[in-house]
Amino acid sequence: MSARGAKPARPDRGARRRLETRARLVWAARELMARKGVGATSIQEITDTADVGFGSFYNHFASKEAIAGAVMEQAIESFGDAADRFAETIDDPAEVLAASVRHAVMRAASDEAWGWFLIRTALARGDGLRRGLGRRLAHDVGTGAKAGRFKVDDLVGTMLAAGGAILAIIAGRLQGEIGDDAPERAAAVVLKLLGLPAREASQVANRPLPAIAVPETSPAPRRSTARGRRASQH
């Protein structure tokens, strides 16, 4: 058969098992770190929860920090895709930012492990504007500032304050201290920090959201049988 007509090669059984093992490790790390934070979560706990041999961890990740980074990338990937779609359908940078903030708060309410992971890791890491929600926030704020939509004297300080406000409102929503209007409240707070008058900030924060596909929450990966687990641990 010619190269043009050849079907793409499927991963062999060993490769599929390695992918499944990695997915279980990432899922377990997310669940544990969402409850306890990165510092209080041990590699042994991750492998026990994933039902994976301890030594197999290092076939996939060099350290606990490495798997925390993988969890963060996975947590933010679908959110970033949704935020990009907002930017494609909305012209006003303030409305784009408001939509992204609202989507983050709604996503956290629908997937609590996702929300708690962001809360427990974002403020504990020293590069908050280069990872996760901070990276997206920095992009949207920077775009609005260049367009003259936002008026801030201290851009970095304002972005850090905005990120803290978003995380605090997510925590309040998860703890039941804030109701279903949490997404709009978070967006309005951030827009006011960026220089919009209170009335305009509220109006922008409450505009209808464009219809986009909302990413599904991440279920627990399927566990292999005992025989399959032994085979995957290499």
CA distance 192 to 35: 31
Half-sphere exposure of 9 (CA within 13 A, CB side): 6
pLDDT the model gives residue 36: 86
List the domains of the chain with CATH numbers.
13-67 (1.10.10.60), 73-205 (1.10.357.10)
Residues of the chain with pLDDT under 50: 1-2, 126, 215, 217, 224-234
pLDDT the model gives residue 149: 95
- Report the run of H or E that residue 17 belongs to, with start and end: helix 13-36
Residue with tokens 């936002």: 150
pLDDT the model gives residue 233: 42
CA distance 160 to 138: 9
pLDDT the model gives residue 222: 57
The DSSP code sequence of 87-142 is HHH---HHHHHHHHHHHHHHHHHH-HHHHHHHHHHHTTSS-TTTSHHHHHHHHHHH
- CA nearest to 183, candidates 94, 82, 107: 107
- For 179, which DSSP code? -
pLDDT the model gives residue 92: 93
Burial class (CB within 10 angstroms; exposed 0-12, middle 13-18, buried 19+) of 121: buried
Which token pair is 106?
A: 């709604």
pLDDT the model gives residue 228: 42
pLDDT the model gives residue 4: 53
pLDDT the model gives residue 79: 65
CA distance 166 to 194: 13
Which token pair is 12?
A: 């062999």
pLDDT the model gives residue 177: 95
